[in-house]
Amino acid sequence: MNPVAVLRLPLSTNLSGFVELLQRLNVPHRVSEEAGEQVLWVPDAPQLADDIRKLYQQYPQGDPTVQLPPGREVVAATRPSPLVQVRSSPVTSIVLLLCAIVAGVTLLGDNFDALSWLTFNDFRVNGDYVMFTPVETTLAAGQWWRVISPMLIHFGVLHLVMNALWFWELGRRIEVRQGSWQLLGLTLAISAFSNYGQYFWSGPSLFGGLSGVLYGLLGHCWIFQLLAPNPIYRLPRGVLVMMLGWLVLCMTGLISLLGFGEIANGAHVGGLIIGCVTGLVGGAIARRKH
């Protein structure tokens, strides 16, 4: 079911109360920013758009006692199909597709020949030893993709699936709120910063994954939401506490001692820092526009 725009409102309009009302009524919806306006989208169901417009005219701040007309609730509860979700989040989908392709080509890290073309430091395996090429040498040779390509590498199915699920959740939020190009720019910038952070943290090593980018996107949404509240960036408090708690736990070294392998703490910290900075800048700009 294709979405339709039912409301176009100034950015200064506070939609949080009305969005909470739609959530209570189980009305699928999303809010995007287009051409300096907030746009409220709902499924293209019979008479649903008119009902939502009338509802907003009567209760722009929301009301806990309101109900939709009989029969509308079942129709409104239809969720967008997976194909519609993919089409509305092209950058999120493309990044995840690239991760899946790289996972297949590198055999989830077991194909060293393919892996060496994507790691931050080029490397060669000599018996029981791994010999790394200085990053300055590879960059001087024009291999600039290494600055960002480690985000596509994953070591194991669980590593790939967990990172993919979180990127799908956070990436789509940013793509809806700020647009595809901004998500692409954030992803590349955070990846580069987090990869350099890991390199300076532990020196030449084999590392990869979207987790550094995920911490960056988490920090971006967190700080952006504090400065310019928007329902799309509203994350459950438990999610933030869990992610930050996991970061601290990994930095203690306990997770590695339990046999989960080496954790890229430098990438996590670096990603979180740059994500908070971008969230601060983006949130300040959005607040100023309001």
At residue 76 the predicted structure's pLDDT band, cuts being 50, 70 and 90, is very low
Active site residue 290: no
Active site residue 211: yes
Measured distance CA(94)–CA(171) in Å, rounded: 11
Pick from 49-53, 123-127, 226-230, 274-278 the range whose average pLDDT is largest.
274-278
pLDDT at 77 over 50: no
How far from 145 is each of 47, 62, 104, 120, 262, CA to CA, in Å?
A: 50, 49, 19, 9, 23
Least confident of 66-80, 139-153, 237-251: 66-80
Choosing from 29, 159, 220, 268, the catalytic residue is: 268
Residue 101 identity (one-letter amino acid): I
Alpha helices in the chain (DSSP H): 16-24, 48-58, 72-76, 82-88, 90-105, 112-115, 135-140, 157-178, 180-202, 211-227, 237-251, 254-255, 265-289
At residue 78 the predicted structure's pLDDT band, cuts being 50, 70 and 90, is very low
Between 48 and 164, the higher pLDDT residue: 164
Measured distance CA(141)–CA(247) in Å, rounded: 35
pLDDT at 152 over 90: yes
Between 231 and 32, the higher pLDDT residue: 32
At residue 176 the predicted structure's pLDDT band, cuts being 50, 70 and 90, is confident
Question: What mean pLDDT do residues 152-174 have?
Answer: 94
Choosing from 211, 220, 256, 290, the catalytic residue is: 211
Characterize the bridge pairing of strands 3-10 and 129-132.
unpaired
